[in-house]
Amino acid sequence: MADTTSKKTAKKPSLAERLAKLGLVKPMDFVVHLPLRYEDQTQIYPIASLAVGEYAQIEGTVVQQHIVQRPRRQLQALVRDSSGELMVRLLHYYPNQIKQFQVGQTLRLRGEVRRGFQTAIEMVHPKVSQAGAPLATTLTPIYPTTEGLSQPALRKAILQALEDVELDDTLPPSVRQQYDLWEFAHAVRALHYPAAEQSQALLNQTHPAWKRIKFDELLAQQLSLAAARARRAKLKAPAIAASQGLASQLLHQLPFHLTAAQQRVIAEISADMQRAQPMHRLLQGDVGSGKTVVAAFAAVQAIEQGYQVALMAPTELLAEQHYQKLQGWLAPLGITVSWLSGSLTMAQRRHAYEAITQGQSQLIVGTQALIQDKVQFARLGLVILDEQHRFGVTQRLDLSRKAADSLRSLDDQGQTLLPHQLNMSATPIPRTLAMTFYSDLDVSIIDELPPGRSPVQTKLVVADRRDEVMQRIQAAVQAGQQVYWVCPLIEESEALQLQTAEDTYEQMTQALPGLRIGLLHGRMSSAEKNVVMDSFRLAQLDILVATTVIEVGVDVPNATIMVIEHSERFGLAQLHQLRGRVGRGAKQSYCILMYQHPLSAIARQRLRAMYETTDGFEIAERDLALRGPGEFLGVRQSGQMLLRFANLEQDADLIEQAKACASYLYEKHPTVATRHVARWLGTKEELLRS
Ligand code: ADP
Ligand code: MG
């Protein structure tokens, strides 16, 4: 008896549970659970006509069978039809499959066509069915599914829902007409019951049914962004008057003139802060464009009016650097800048908390430590996030919540005041993303580098030529320049990464006697890191061997060479960030990307992009094209918010239309808007709210 109970608790999830895992609960959820792709089982293709990468159905006869032991035990069957032959490989198999693939058997096989070893093409674990059976008369939809839920079971549930629910249209006829859209019912039926003669349009998603679905999805997203904007417009922030004195004092004591672009964005930010709504602005500027000083101007405006400013950076190294720089600029104006990080001692931290709570600290620079519960600001007016894409959604939420708490005392008409928020990033947002996921954000762009800089020259060097690279950096050091040497990224193992950095340091020290070489890696304490970083900044070190800890924001203008080993392992955004560490002074700088063969297709394209352009926008566009929005957005978005059907690149026109339609519906037909969002986003709407 005891036995059966324990079995029961471990029982498999029910069908309903498995469906719910896919978010399929209400009938309408099923209706909009649309096929990921279609398989064409309506035809038998001649083997000779198949191309690598396509999904195909063939019929052929087994002419040879082998059980192979190496490199892995597997069953191989050579299958032939009148046009050609291909190899079938089963990497694990049952005895009855040996029988199934016996020489002389004629079979129908379905699967992805891959490049083969012994034959030009092969199929690995194809689906097997009886040769000569009737062919499908429609395309076969393949749905996104989950473990333990078969395609037929899922399809059955979906088709049932299509019968059960009324497929009313959320869009009025006038709107459908204006944007040339199919009726909703018509569209979903076409997608779930795909007719064979429309196969091409369905497969490549150009079918009008797909257009309707993509439009609906984009519209829902735009509507929900419009709602978020409207909610934000109701929020209150302290209106902070433009600076009367501090800003011009700061301007006069800077060792350089602001660029026109910097002046323009400083004015945009200042105007935002003078309004009684919280600023929600992204300051975008390529690496080295001078965002930090812009942040300083925003800070003095708030400080002059008696508010505190928090500046948060994603790494301790970067936060420390900001602290030093801002302290240097602002202390002479009589502003108290304090520093808060996880590595302070308890006593130091208590002291820092107190100064923040009492309001003595005017500008507080730090890491995530800033959003710890113990930190209570007296009068927080402005929050600045540097390299904002590095922070998770929750961290940013925490900071605004904290800010809301600390400003509550200022609330005069019973409404909470929120601080203004300035996000800074060197990673530009491609246009399509700006129109979708980020459309609730105001953007300021620094589109100009400080004068006297020449673009970094990028060289691709194969790893065998390491010696030449060493000679070159030696010559540069003798000419008084400094060098970064970035060690290979080893994502699988932090320990291995550390090991590699230490080994590289040893090798460099031996190969380049007489040069002053430092080592920087993520396992060092921040005090240790600071010592190394300071010596590099003060030119007491010639070469800094480092892991990617130096990726964001580090600013040492005298460094002119950036060497990246195994650059093929890095992402495009990361390479661009690393390259941005040089080219910050007047001297010509170089980025040397060492790579090792063989290069994957993607790695090749990344390196080519780095070689061909130094323009951060161009890099971002290419990065988006290579990785797709999901990865591009990274931590910022939770998976559910991503578009399932529309494609940001191909459907740019539809995005425009959906945007126009959304503002019309939102203004004129709010009930239509609400219903449409409910159908498409359902519970996901909650997420968009945050
Ligand atoms: P990023 O935009 O990458 O954060 P930084 O703010 O670190 O760039 O600025 C890069 C370097 O350029 C810093 O040394 C900074 O002091 C300097 N800088 C900023 N603005 C100017 C300017 N207008 N003219 C000359 N140098 C500038
Ligand atoms: Mg920066």
- Between the CA of 372 and the centroid of ligand 1 the distance, in Å, is 30
**Is 90 exceeded by the pLDDT of residue 304?**
yes
**Is 70 exceeded by the pLDDT of residue 248?**
yes
- How high is the mean pLDDT of the chain? 86
Specify the pLDDT at position 229: 79
Among residues 317, 327, 268, 274, which one has the least CA distance to residue 296? 327
- Between the CA of 287 and the centroid of ligand 2 the distance, in Å, is 7
Tell me the per-residue pLDDT of 171-207, one tens digit each, with 9 for 90 and over: 999 999 999 999 999 999 999 988 877 777 777 778 8
Structure tokens at 643: 């578009």
What is the full DSSP assignment across 127-146? EEEETTPPPPSB-EEE----
Residues 24-38: what's their mean pLDDT?
A: 87
SS3 content of the chain, % helix, strand, coil (to 5): 45, 20, 35
Specify the pLDDT at position 5: 42
> What domains lie within the chain, and their CATH numbers?
39-130 (2.40.50.140), 246-446 (3.40.50.300), 457-629 (3.40.50.300)
Structure tokens at 25: 């609960």
With a 6 Å cutoff on the Cβ, whether 291 touches ligand 1 is yes
Neighbours of 563 (CB within 10 A): 26
Q: How confident is residue 690, by pLDDT bands cut at 50, 70 and 90?
A: very low
Ligand nearest to the CA of 296: 1
Residues 298-324: what's their mean pLDDT?
A: 92
With a 6 Å cutoff on the Cβ, whether 555 touches ligand 1 is yes
Count of positions (residues) in the chain:
690
Specify the pLDDT at position 453: 79
Q: Which residue has the higher pLDDT, 489 or 172?
A: 172
- Between the CA of 429 and the centroid of ligand 1 the distance, in Å, is 21
Nearest CA to ligand 1 atom 5: 290
Q: Which residue has the higher pLDDT, 440 or 16?
A: 16
Tell me the per-residue pLDDT of 104-130, one tens digit each, with 9 for 90 and over: 999 999 998 999 888 889 999 999 999
Q: Chain centroid to CA 579: how far?
A: 19
Nearest CA to ligand 1 atom 9: 290
Query: Which range scores top for mean pLDDT: 224-228, 316-320, 329-333?
Result: 329-333
Sheet strands (E) in 250-349? 280-285, 308-312, 337-340
| Cα dist from 554 to 347, 536, 548, 575, whole Å | 29, 11, 11, 14
Residue reference for tokens 């490049």? 115
With a 6 Å cutoff on the Cβ, whether 434 touches ligand 1 is no
- Between the CA of 386 and the centroid of ligand 2 the distance, in Å, is 7
Sheet strands (E) in 531-684? 543-546, 559-564, 590-595
Residue reference for tokens 């919280």? 278
**Is 50 exceeded by the pLDDT of residue 431?**
yes
| Cα dist from 509 to 71, 488, 663, whole Å | 42, 18, 63
Nearest CA to ligand 1 atom 19: 290
| Cα dist from 413 to 248, 402, 419, whole Å | 34, 20, 16
Structure tokens at 305: 């009016």
| Cα dist from 355 to 352, 358, 370, 402, whole Å | 5, 5, 13, 17
**Mutate which of 265, 266, 293 for ligand 1 pocket (most atoms within 8 A of beta carbon):** 293
